[in-house]
C-alpha cells in the first residue's frame, strides 16, 4: 500500500536512515499542496531528500520525473544518491542520465532521468541532442531531411514532473532567465508539477519569478522551525577579516600561502582542511604549481575545475568523499580528526560537491556565488573553529574576471559594511547580504523571447522553428556562449576518446591553435581530420555535423591538473 502524499519524505528518511529536518518536513507539505513551488533552504541542509521524495511520489501517481542540474559534477554526485535510494527500495533500472555522451536515458525514457539544463532545454523544444544532425538538414541541406524524434522528445519532457536544482544559477544571464520563465509557464499550461530549489534566492529574484507567474508558491527557510540547526551554526567560531585588497595579481599566491601558514598555526589540533577558490581555471592551476613548491607539498592536494575528463574528476571526488565519511564519523563520536587536505577549486565547488573545510580562502564573487561557496566551510555539525579570508584584486570594472563587475562591487561594499562579524551560515545574515546586493534591475527578462520559447512547444508539424531559434541564439537556449567539445592529441592517442571529451566555452578558444577535428567515420572508427577555414568561421555548424565528435586543440592533458590549453 503506497504512503499517503504527506508520508513520502518520511519514507526517504526511513530508508536512508536519516533523522530528518523539521523545515524540510514543512516544505514537503507545501510541495504536495501546490503545483509550482520554489524551496529555499541553507546549503548542506539536505534538499536532495525533497527531490527524492518528489520522485517517489511522482512514480506512485503515474508520472516520470526529470531532474535537471546546472553542472555535470552536481548531476554525477546526485545520480549516486538516487540509485542508492532505489536500490534500497528494491527497484532496478529506474534511474538514468542524459547529458553529453551519456545516453542511458535517451529522450528521457527512463522513469527517473537526471540531466543538465542544456539537455533539458533542447529536449523540451523537440531537439534532443542526438537528433540535431538530422533536423539541422532542414536549414543547411547537407544531410537527409528528417524530423528525428521531434514530438517524442517533447512529449517525454512534458509528461514528466520536473525538478530544477540550484535554480539561482539560471539567473546569471538574461537568456537563462528567459528559459526559466518559459519553463514555468509551459509547466503551468501543461499541468506539470515543477519544483525549484536553491539556498540563495534574493527577494528581487523571487519577485521577478512572481511577475512571470503569480501562482508560484515560495517556501523560505524559517529559523523558528528548526532552532537547533540555527543554534549549532551560531556556535561556530570564525576568524574573519574584511576582504583584503591585492594590488599585484601575481602576489595573491604568496598572500594565500601566508594565510595558509597562519591558519595552520591557529587551527592547531583540529585538523587542517583548506579550500581555496578561484574565479578562473588558469589561476587555480597556477596556485597548485606554487603550492607544491612549499612545505604543504607533503599534504594531500586536490585540484578541481571544469576541465577534467570525467574519470579523473570522479576519482578525485571519490577520494574526497571517503575522507568526508571518516570526518563525519569522527565528528559524530566527538573525537579529534586526523583528516588533512587542501582543495584548490573554481566555481564548480559551489554546487554538488559535498566537502567541508575549516580554512576557507576565496576570490571575491557576487553574493549568491560567494554564499554558495561558503556552504563548503564548516559545513558539518560539530565543526567549531574556522579561518576565513576573502581577497579582491585592484581593478573591478564592468567585469571582474568571469563576473558582472557591478555585482562584485556591491558585494564588496556590503562585506565592508558588515565588518569582521560575518557568519555566512546564518540565513538571516546572508539573506541581508544578498538582498542588499541584488535589485530587480539585475534580473532582466525579454518577454518577446519568452513567448518565442513557449511558441516552440505549440507547433506539431515540424521542428523547423525550434532549429531556427536554436541557430539564431548561437547554439544554446540558456547560454550566451557556445560550449564546444574539445580534446587534445595525447588524449586521442590513448584510444578511448569519448571518455575524455571536455566542454569548453567558445570564448576560451580564442587565441588557441585548433589542430583538427575528431570525427567518426562510417565504420565507427575515430580519426583526426583537418578543419577548413570555412568550418572555423562557423563553429556551430561544424559542431552539429553528423560525424563531428570534438575539436582537437593544441595543449596537453594532465590527470592531476586537467586540460592545459596551448596558445597559437
Q: Hey, CA dihedral for 289, 323, 70, 46, is it positive or negative?
A: negative
Q: Which CATH superfamily is domain 5-227 in?
A: P-loop containing nucleotide triphosphate hydrolases (3.40.50.300)
**Residue 143 confidence (pLDDT):** 44
Which tens digit of pLDDT belongs to each residue from 481-537? 888 889 888 888 777 777 778 888 887 776 568 889 998 887 778 888 998 888 888
pLDDT at 546 over 90: no
Q: What is the pLDDT averaged over residues 529-546?
A: 84
**Residue 291 confidence (pLDDT):** 97
**Residue 134 confidence (pLDDT):** 65
* Pairwise pLDDT comparison (530 vs 342), residue with the higher score: 342
Q: What stretch(es) of the chain map to CATH 3.40.50.300?
A: 5-227, 237-424
**55-64, 185-194, 315-324, 542-551: the lowest-pLDDT one:** 542-551
pLDDT at 438 over 60: yes
DSSP assignment of 382-397 equals T--EEEEEEEEES---
**Residue 51 confidence (pLDDT):** 97
Dig out the grid coordinates for 197 from the structure.
530549489
Q: What is the pLDDT averaged over residues 257-265?
A: 96
* Pairwise pLDDT comparison (543 vs 435), residue with the higher score: 435
CATH 3.40.50.300 fits 237-424, yes or no: yes
Partner residues linked to 38 by β-bridges: 196, 218
- Non-local (6+) Cβ contacts of 298 within 8 A are none
Cβ proximity of 518 and 550 under 8 Å: yes
Q: What is the mean pLDDT of the chain?
A: 89
Q: What is the pTM of this model?
A: 0.92
Cβ proximity of 268 and 450 under 8 Å: no
Letter string b/e over residues 71-95, b meaning 16 or more CB atoms within 10 A of that residue's CB: bbbbbbbbbebbbebbeeeeeeebb
**Residue 144 confidence (pLDDT):** 45
Amino acid at each position: 500500500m503506497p504512503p499517503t502524499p504527506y508520508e513520502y519524505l518520511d519514507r526517504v528518511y526511513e530508508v536512508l536512515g536519516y533523522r530528518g529536518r523539521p523545515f524540510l518536513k514543512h516544505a514537503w507539505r507545501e510541495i504536495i499542496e501546490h503545483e509550482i513551488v520554489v524551496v529555499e533552504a541553507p546549503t548542506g541542509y539536505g534538499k536532495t531528500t525533497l527531490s527524492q521524495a518528489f520522485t517517489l511520489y511522482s512514480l506512485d501517481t503515474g508520472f516520470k520525473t526529470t531532474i535537471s542540474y546546472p553542472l555535470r559534477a552536481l548531476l554525477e554526485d546526485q545520480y549516486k544518491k538516487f540509485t542508492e535510494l532505489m536500490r534500497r527500495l528494491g527497484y532496478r533500472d529506474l534511474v538514468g542520465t542524459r547529458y553529453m555522451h551519456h545516453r542511458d536515458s535517451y529522450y528521457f525514457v527512463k522513469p527517473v532521468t537526471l540531466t543538465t539544463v542544456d539537455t533539458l532545454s533542447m529536449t523540451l523544444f523537440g531537439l534532443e541532442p542526438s537528433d540535431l544532425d538530422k533536423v539541422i538538414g532542414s536549414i543547411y541541406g547537407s544531410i537527409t531531411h528528417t524530423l528525428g524524434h521531434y514530438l517524442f522528445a517533447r512529449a517525454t519532457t512534458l509528461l514528466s514532473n520536473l525538478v530544477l536544482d540550484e535554480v539561482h544559477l539560471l539567473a546569471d544571464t538574461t537568456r537563462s532567465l528567459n528559459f526559466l520563465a518559459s519553463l514555468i509557464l509551459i509547466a503551468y499550461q501543461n499541468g506539470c508539477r515543477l519544483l525549484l530549489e536553491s539556498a540563495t534566492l534574493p527577494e528581487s529574484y523571487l519577485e521577478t519569478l512572481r511577475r512571470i507567474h503569480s501562482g508560484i508558491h515560495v517556501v523560505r527557510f524559517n529559523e523558528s522551525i528548526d532552532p537547533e540547526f540555527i543554534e549549532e551554526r551560531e556556535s561556530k567560531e570564525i576568524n574573519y577579516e574584511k576582504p583584503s585588497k591585492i594590488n599585484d595579481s601575481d602576489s595573491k599566491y604568496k598572500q594565500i600561502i601566508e594565510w595558509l601558514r597562519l591558519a595552520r598555526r591557529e587551527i592547531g589540533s583540529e585538523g587542517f582542511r583548506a579550500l581555496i577558490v578561484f574565479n578562473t581555471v588558469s589561476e587555480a592551476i597556477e596556485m597548485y604549481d606554487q603550492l607544491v613548491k612549499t612545505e604543504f607539498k607533503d599534504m594531500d592536494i586536490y585540484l578541481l575545475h571544469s576541465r577534467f575528463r570525467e574519470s579523473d574528476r570522479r576519482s578525485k571526488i571519490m577520494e574526497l568523499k571517503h575522507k568526508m565519511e571518516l570526518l563525519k564519523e569522527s565528528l559524530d563520536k566527538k573525537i579529534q580528526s586526523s583528516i588533512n587536505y587542501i582543495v584548490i577549486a573554481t566555481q564548480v565547488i559551489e554546487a554538488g560537491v559535498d566537502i567541508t573545510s575549516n580554512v576557507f580562502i576565496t576570490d571575491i564573487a557576487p553574493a549568491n556565488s560567494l554564499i554558495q561557496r561558503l556552504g563548503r566551510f564548516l559545513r558539518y555539525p560539530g565543526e567549531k573553529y574556522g579561518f576565513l579570508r576573502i581577497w579582491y584584486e585592484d581593478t573591478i570594472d564592468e567585469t571582474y574576471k568571469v563576473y558582472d563587475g557591478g555585482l562584485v562591487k556591491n558585494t564588496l561594499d556590503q562585506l565592508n559594511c558588515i565588518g569582521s562579524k560575518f557568519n555566512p551560515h546564518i540565513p538571516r545574515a546572508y539573506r541581508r547580504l544578498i538582498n542588499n546586493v541584488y535589485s530587480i534591475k539585475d534580473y532582466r527578462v525579454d518577454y518577446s523571447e519568452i513567448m518565442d520559447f513557449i511558441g516552440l512547444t505549440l507547433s506539431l508539424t515540424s521542428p523547423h522553428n525550434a532549429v531556427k531559434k536554436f541557430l539564431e541564439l548561437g547554439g544554446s537556449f540558456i547560454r550566451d556562449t557556445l560550449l564546444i567539445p574539445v580534446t587534445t592529441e595525447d588524449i586521442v592517442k590513448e584510444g578511448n576518446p569519448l571518455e575524455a571529451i571536455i566542454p569548453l566555452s567558445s570564448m576560451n578558444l580564442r587565441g588557441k591553435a585548433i589542430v583538427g577535428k575528431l570525427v567518426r567515420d562510417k565504420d565507427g572508427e575515430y580519426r583526426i581530420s583537418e578543419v577548413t577555414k570555412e568550418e572555423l568561421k562557423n563553429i556551430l555548424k561544424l559542431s552539429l555535423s553528423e560525424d563531428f565528435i570534438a575539436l582537437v586543440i593544441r595543449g596537453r592533458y594532465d590527470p592531476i591538473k586537467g586540460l592545459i590549453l596551448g596558445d597559437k
